[in-house]
Amino acid sequence: MSREPAPPSEVVAQGLTYRYVKTMKRDFFSENWLIEREGRLYVLKNSRFRHLFGFLFEPLSGWISRREFRMYSRAAGIRGIPSLHGMVGDNGYIHEYIPGRNLRQHQYEVGKYTLPDTFFDELLEIVRQVHARGVAHNDMAKKGNIIVGDDGHPYLLDFHVSVGVVTEPLWARRLTTAIYRRLRQADLYHLLKFKEKYRPDLVTEDERLALDRKTPGARLYRIFLQRPYQFVKRLVYPKGSNETFRFSSGLKKIRD
């Protein structure tokens, strides 16, 4: 991987100037900067392929960032979804900073079973409202995308692989609706898996039955979609290369 360029001291977006504070994380596909304006903190997410020939993929990085911004925009106004504050160039956008820890950090720093009783009910409401906007998050299995806010409430981040229903033309609407329905079920399943792990005392009998249920559709999904996706993913980057670097008083490397 090539040497990382130093971040700029200031970022200008839509006529507003933000001050760079620190780099929050870097992974294979993007980097997140903590930035500040008038005493408020924000996150600038830059999408780019961070490897030797990453510059060849700049058009793809820009498309990914603009698409993620559109998915975020569909969920705008839902409590638990960070507010958006505009695009930056072709492959970056700014969203509200949420003080807190992701699920993995919370588990190791605070405790595995310390989430509030209402945490997963609130998270379920967030996911249902996102689904009502015609968007499947499609990355609910990743602990880093679920934030336990300092206020005790859940927040949902990162829509870079989300799938939204396309209304036109007709064939696209039918195709994306079919895919969306399957991915919506996957979102709810992963939410229940986290509830089972972090608050097993709150899992209902119906939820346990849902977790145990194996459907033919799920088997076909694993064979024809999930496994090919994982295969292609490993061709693009090897296992372990998608690491997150977090900066505080020192440098910490946390594997997602």
Please give the domain boundaries of the chain with CATH numbers for all domains: 1-97+238-256 (3.30.200.20), 100-213 (1.10.510.10)
Please tell me the least confidently modeled range out of 1-5, 92-96, 178-182. 1-5
User: Can you name the residues that pair with 37 across neighbouring β-strands?
Assistant: 40
pLDDT, one tens digit per residue, over 25-50 is: 887 778 899 999 999 999 999 887 76
Closest CA to 111 of 201, 199, 19: 199
Q: Which segment of 14-28, 76-90, 163-177, 201-215 scores lowest on mean pLDDT?
A: 163-177
170-198 helix and 205-212 helix, angle to the nearest 10 degrees: 120
Report the range out of 193-197, 216-220, 249-253 with the highest average pLDDT.
Answer: 193-197
Average pLDDT over residues 143-150: 95
Strand partners, 32: 25, 45
Q: 3-state DSSP call for residue 164?
A: strand
pLDDT at residue 96 greater than cutoff 60:
yes
- 149 vs 96: CA distance, rounded Å: 13
Pairing outcome for strands 84-88 and 92-96: antiparallel
Flag whether pLDDT at 87 surpasses 80: yes
How many helices (H) and strands (E) would you count in the chain? 7, 13
**Residues 211, 228, 145, 236, Cα dihedral to 10°:** 160
pLDDT of 142 above 80: yes
